[in-house]
A and B are shown apart, each in its own frame.
Chain A
Amino acid sequence: MSTVAAQPVTLTVNGEAKTVDVYPMARLLDVLRNDLQLTGTKEGCGEGECGACSVLLNGELVNSCLVPVLQADGASICTIEGLAQQEQLHPVQQSFLQRGGAQCGICTPGMVLASVQLLSKHPQPTLEQVREGLAGNLCRCTGYQRIFEAVQKSLAGQEKA
């Protein structure tokens, strides 16, 4: 093992300040899943290809398997667990649920966060913007068609009550 010792790292996760003692090069993914028990963030490939581990770090979408936790020290992180307000689903979650955007569900947390981030940049995205914007998040089940629809129709006003 390396001689580097565990050290305290402070993160604001889903609005709550957390301090964890971790190795600085630990993956943010492992810290979220193992130290903070936020298992909604998934590991699909461990090399930044599939996007299952996507979280928002200071509002930007990152693959948490590629982020050493030290790099996130002091940052604000949003995981899938931080999106719904108690039982009230986020409109993007509601739209995925209603329109068949989730099948096996393993890519869904990352895909939903990627969609939220996409919509924050392009509130009314074209199909092309959605296709390009989600290209870093792989889904093996849906063929993406229903995800496109879910994202484009999750805007306020298009959601069924």
Chain B
Amino acid sequence: MAESKQNRIVGVSVPRKEGAAKVTGRARYVDDIALPEMWHGITVRSSIARGRILAVRFGDGVRWDEFVIVTAKDIPGRNCVPLFLEDQPLLADGVVNHPEEPVLLLAHPQRELLHKAAGAVQIEYEPLPAVFTIAESERMAPVIWGEDNTFKTFLMEKGDVDSVWKDADHIVEGEYETGAQEQLYIEPNGMIAQASPQEGVTVWGSLQCPFYVHRALKVYFDLPDEKVRVVQTETGGAFGGKEDYPSIIAGHAALLSWKCGHPVKMIYDRLEDMAATTKRHPSRTRHRTAVSKEGKLLGAEIEFVTDGGAYATLSSTVLSRGTIHAAGPYNWPHLRVRSRSLATNTPPSGAFRGFGAPQSLFAMERHMDRIARVVGLAPEELRRRNFLRQGEATATGQLLRDPIDLDKMLTRALEVSGYHEKKARFARENAVSAVKRGMGLASFMHGSGFTGSGERYLDSMVGVEGTVEGRARVLVSSSEFGQGTNTVLCQIAAEALGCEYDDVEIAQPDTSMVPNSGPTVASRTAMIVGKLVESAALGLRQTLLQAGLLQEADAPDAFRAACHGYMQQFGPLKSYSRYEAPLGVFWDDEKYQGDAYPAYAWAVYVAEVAVDTMTYATEVTNFYALQEVGKVLHPVLAAGQIEGGVAQGIGYALYEKVVWSNGRMANNQMTNYIMPTSADLPPVHVYFEEIPFAYGAYGAKGIGELPMDGPAPAILNAIEDATGIAFNRAPLMPEDVLEQMMRMAKGTAQEPQPAEVTR
């Protein structure tokens, strides 16, 4: 077993593989690439939320004969974006269902002529009534999707929740909301395509999941596997925002190329990217909880609803993760979670780091503070009395076989943050200060890998091959977009091969060259793909050992000669490994019960805030993030993931508000959609506990999404501690604080909702 030996490379902060190219500006992102005779494309989009297209006119002042124009009629295959359901067209055909829906495409050799031309296309509509919010969609006024505006529902039950209410000492209710959030990768979406009926379709672009795009292009063009090639270029941030949308841009660029006979580049500018592409699902969660006077959670009903936008896209899986995480890291004897994802006439919501969990955990962790207040316990004490422990079962009935130590983590988080001392000091100081300070915490978990049977369906495969120079090359479709995929997978391979880190490289994700290791999502790359890389690398090493070219005791530098020697004698040297579900893993898709995830990362986060009662601005003054993510494979990258995720979480809590106007994002600019700058963020103190996970690469579990889940509730909990006001909606803007404080000043202040229900 790998654990028994001292690791040489795993656990060490080696240099990022593509780091030198990035710091010198040599790294090539899609817009840095130009092909000979390349044209440029632009998308003409709907200006209304819902309606029938009556006519399209091409206005004066544009030499239309120089442009190539593509509509739905030009799609050789099927006009649908293939995800779970096939309800979303690649180009609108007769009707539009959200603002910014793609209607037609233009290409021209000169990029600078495109915007004027797009503006000269006039689309005449017959508008239809639309719905824009969860509440409007629920009322079904009107029905805009399917029979009842519902993309997906889940029912997750444990025990018999109907039995708990009569004996409960307290019943605590609460309602919580979260807004949309823009991924705001700094590199906007972009793609280059070269397509023709003879050669098939090749695209190069900024994307997370090469084989998702590959599948989509096969559908649009009705082509076999080998006629479609997808290459990931250096990708300047993604965070889920480049999981499904690149399948659309790739299709558009390829259609234009197919028709004009040139390579076509489509790069979104920031306005278009923010207005048209996916965002985090807005949500509403209602909790009803039965609690004993000792603070034991007896049972709960939770209703979790998300706004999926106009088409189903990934909403069912986002809902699934949100549903399972809705119960938090607590032991519930009885529980019922009902969840729904609803349609509205806004651009489809999509994947964003956390994938439903930040929404439902925000509600759970705000609600825990509410329960604590009702019961009369400290927030940390209520949590401590209800934490899941090893040997107990989660909300889906998953028996937790691996060690968990939330108790110890909570103690440590309170200690390193100086929680008790600060809380007491702030309470004294607040009495005589206009700046109110407070402490808040959140405890939570994030499941690593696909939910339920997801990993089994993915059937991921990876390879490791020898190169003629005697190096090893990792073959995966898992993509690098900042999180460290290249580096961590090469570390794992080098460790298993017994060679140096510098002797391992990783292939550019290119569907014609690498096996399908699954999408780069769901905190699965280090743990699941990494484990496959470990196993493929061990296989390759075994081949060299058996050939007598390498000895067990050889030093790492012997690898090159052995690898080179093997290829001289025998030809290609390759080793592949395919995913196999761990034994005894069980999941029931119908009942939503069983082993929801192969492993969970656990965390306790503490926020320290200052609310200025003169300006109503809230500042996070310190942030403490303690987590257990299995073995930390690369301390610098791992801490970087946590710090970056916490920053996005602080943005989610306090800065990043999507303003909607008739289904359209009104503030689709970096000028008025505000993400945290370097001057806004506090010191983020990161701590790891390490409990190696047997089925993850060298003990690793998922890490990337976890830090998105905790900051928003911890911060709003701290704001309640500071001000005594229970805010239950994120983001919380200064104007929201102002409104509530004005009410307090006028004496009309009220709890946004009564905490305890009178029975």
Enumerate chain A residues within 8 angstroms of B614, measured Cβ to Cβ: none
Question: Closest residue of chain B to A147, judged by CB?
Answer: B678
Asked whether, in the complex, the Cβ of A42 is within 8 Å of the Cβ of B681, the reply is no
Enumerate chain B residues within 8 angstroms of A52, measured Cβ to Cβ: 186
* Known contacts A97-B20, A102-B22, A104-B235; is-contact A49 B684 (Cβ 8 Å): no
Asked whether, in the complex, the Cβ of A143 is within 8 Å of the Cβ of B237, the reply is no
Query: Of residues B16, B484, B640, which shows the largest number of chain A Cβ atoms within 10 Å of its Cβ?
Result: B640
Does B187 belong to the interface (CB within 8 Å)?
yes
Query: Of residues A38, A40, A99, which shows the largest number of chain B Cβ atoms within 10 Å of its Cβ?
Result: A40
Does B675 belong to the interface (CB within 8 Å)?
yes
Asked whether, in the complex, the Cβ of B679 is within 8 Å of the Cβ of A42, the reply is no
Does A123 belong to the interface (CB within 8 Å)?
no
Query: Of residues B23, B31, B481, B636, which shows the largest number of chain A Cβ atoms within 10 Å of its Cβ?
Result: B23
Asked whether, in the complex, the Cβ of B16 is within 8 Å of the Cβ of A80, the reply is no
Enumerate chain A residues within 8 angstroms of B679, measured Cβ to Cβ: 131-132, 135
Enumerate chain A residues within 8 angstroms of B183, measured Cβ to Cβ: 140
Asked whether, in the complex, the Cβ of A93 is within 8 Å of the Cβ of B24, the reply is yes
Which of B23, B184, B269 is close to A97, meaning CB atoms less than 8 Å apart?
A: B23
Question: Closest residue of chain A to B22, judged by CB?
Answer: A105
CB under 8 Å from chain B, chain A span 100-138: 100-109, 112, 130-132, 134-138
A106 to B669, CA, bound (A): 18
Q: How far is the CB of B452 from chain A (nearest CB, A)?
A: 30
Q: How far is the CB of A3 from chain B (nearest CB, A)?
A: 16
Which of B25, B675, B684 is close to A80, meaning CB atoms less than 8 Å apart?
A: B25
* Known contacts A143-B644, A143-B684; is-contact A135 B24 (Cβ 8 Å): no
Query: Of residues B21, B187, B235, which shows the largest number of chain A Cβ atoms within 10 Å of its Cβ?
Result: B187
* Additional A-B contacts beyond A79-B25, A141-B644 (12; CB < 8 A): A39-B31, A44-B187, A98-B15, A105-B21, A107-B236, A108-B25, A109-B25, A130-B678, A132-B678, A143-B646, A145-B639, A145-B640
* Known contacts A98-B15, A142-B640, A147-B678; is-contact A106 B683 (Cβ 8 Å): no
Asked whether, in the complex, the Cβ of A106 is within 8 Å of the Cβ of B24, the reply is no
| For the complex of A and B, 10 pairs with smallest distance between CB atoms | A40-B25, A106-B236, A104-B482, A105-B22, A143-B647, A80-B25, A103-B482, A143-B643, A39-B32, A49-B670
Enumerate chain A residues within 8 angstroms of B234, measured Cβ to Cβ: 105
Does B671 belong to the interface (CB within 8 Å)?
yes
Q: How far is the CB of A69 from chain B (nearest CB, A)?
A: 14
CB under 8 Å from chain A, chain B span 1-58: 13, 15-16, 18-29, 31-32
Question: Closest residue of chain A to B643, judged by CB?
Answer: A143
Enumerate chain B residues within 8 angstroms of A96, measured Cβ to Cβ: 23
Question: Closest residue of chain A to B649, judged by CB?
Answer: A143
Asked whether, in the complex, the Cβ of A104 is within 8 Å of the Cβ of B237, the reply is yes
How many chain B residues touch A (Cβ–Cβ < 8 Å)?
Answer: 56
Q: How far is the CB of B156 from chain A (nearest CB, A)?
A: 33
Enumerate chain B residues within 8 angstroms of A93, measured Cβ to Cβ: 23-24
Enumerate chain A residues within 8 angstroms of B32, measured Cβ to Cβ: 33, 39
A43 to B16, CA, bound (A): 23
Enumerate chain B residues within 8 angstroms of A83, measured Cβ to Cβ: 24
**Would you list 11 pairs from A and B whose C-beta atoms are within 8 A, ordered by A residue?**
A33-B32, A46-B270, A83-B24, A94-B23, A97-B23, A102-B22, A104-B185, A104-B186, A105-B236, A105-B482, A143-B647
A93 to B239, CA, bound (A): 25
Q: How far is the CB of B549 from chain A (nearest CB, A)?
A: 33
Enumerate chain B residues within 8 angstroms of A36, measured Cβ to Cβ: none
Does B483 belong to the interface (CB within 8 Å)?
yes
Which of B13, B640, B684 is close to A103, meaning CB atoms less than 8 Å apart?
A: B640
Enumerate chain A residues within 8 angstroms of B269, measured Cβ to Cβ: 46
Does A89 belong to the interface (CB within 8 Å)?
yes
Tell me whether chain B's interface is mostly helix, strand or loop, or mixed.
loop
Question: Closest residue of chain B to A103, judged by CB?
Answer: B482
Asked whether, in the complex, the Cβ of B636 is within 8 Å of the Cβ of A47, the reply is no
Asked whether, in the complex, the Cβ of A97 is within 8 Å of the Cβ of B19, the reply is yes
Asked whether, in the complex, the Cβ of A140 is within 8 Å of the Cβ of B185, the reply is yes
Does A81 belong to the interface (CB within 8 Å)?
yes
* Known contacts A135-B677, A140-B675; is-contact A99 B24 (Cβ 8 Å): no
Asked whether, in the complex, the Cβ of B643 is within 8 Å of the Cβ of A146, the reply is yes
CB under 8 Å from chain A, chain B span 73-132: none
Asked whether, in the complex, the Cβ of A89 is within 8 Å of the Cβ of B678, the reply is no
Which of A33, A105, A137, A145 is close to B27, meaning CB atoms less than 8 Å apart?
A: A105
Enumerate chain A residues within 8 angstroms of B23, measured Cβ to Cβ: 89, 93-94, 96-97, 101-102, 105, 108, 112
Enumerate chain A residues within 8 angstroms of B648, measured Cβ to Cβ: 140, 143
A52 to B237, CA, bound (A): 13
Asked whether, in the complex, the Cβ of B25 is within 8 Å of the Cβ of A41, the reply is yes
Q: How far is the CB of B269 from chain A (nearest CB, A)?
A: 6
A98 to B20, CA, bound (A): 10
Asked whether, in the complex, the Cβ of A140 is within 8 Å of the Cβ of B640, the reply is no
Q: How far is the CB of B180 from chain A (nearest CB, A)?
A: 16
CB under 8 Å from chain B, chain A span 28-74: 33, 38-47, 49-50, 52
A39 to B483, CA, bound (A): 23
A46 to B115, CA, bound (A): 14
Asked whether, in the complex, the Cβ of B270 is within 8 Å of the Cβ of A106, the reply is no
Enumerate chain A residues within 8 angstroms of B637, measured Cβ to Cβ: 100
Enumerate chain B residues within 8 angstroms of A131, measured Cβ to Cβ: 678-679, 681
Which of B18, B670, B671, B683 is close to A105, meaning CB atoms less than 8 Å apart?
A: B18
Asked whether, in the complex, the Cβ of B678 is within 8 Å of the Cβ of A135, the reply is yes
Asked whether, in the complex, the Cβ of B644 is within 8 Å of the Cβ of A140, the reply is yes
Does A6 belong to the interface (CB within 8 Å)?
no
Asked whether, in the complex, the Cβ of A138 is within 8 Å of the Cβ of B25, the reply is no
A81 to B23, CA, bound (A): 10
A139 to B644, CA, bound (A): 9
* Known contacts A106-B237, A137-B678, A138-B677; is-contact A40 B26 (Cβ 8 Å): yes
A144 to B679, CA, bound (A): 9
Q: How far is the CB of B52 from chain A (nearest CB, A)?
A: 34
Q: How far is the CB of A77 from chain B (nearest CB, A)?
A: 14
* Known contacts A112-B23, A131-B679, A143-B684; is-contact A39 B482 (Cβ 8 Å): no
Query: Of residues A79, A83, A97, which shows the largest number of chain B Cβ atoms within 10 Å of its Cβ?
Result: A97
Asked whether, in the complex, the Cβ of A89 is within 8 Å of the Cβ of B186, the reply is no
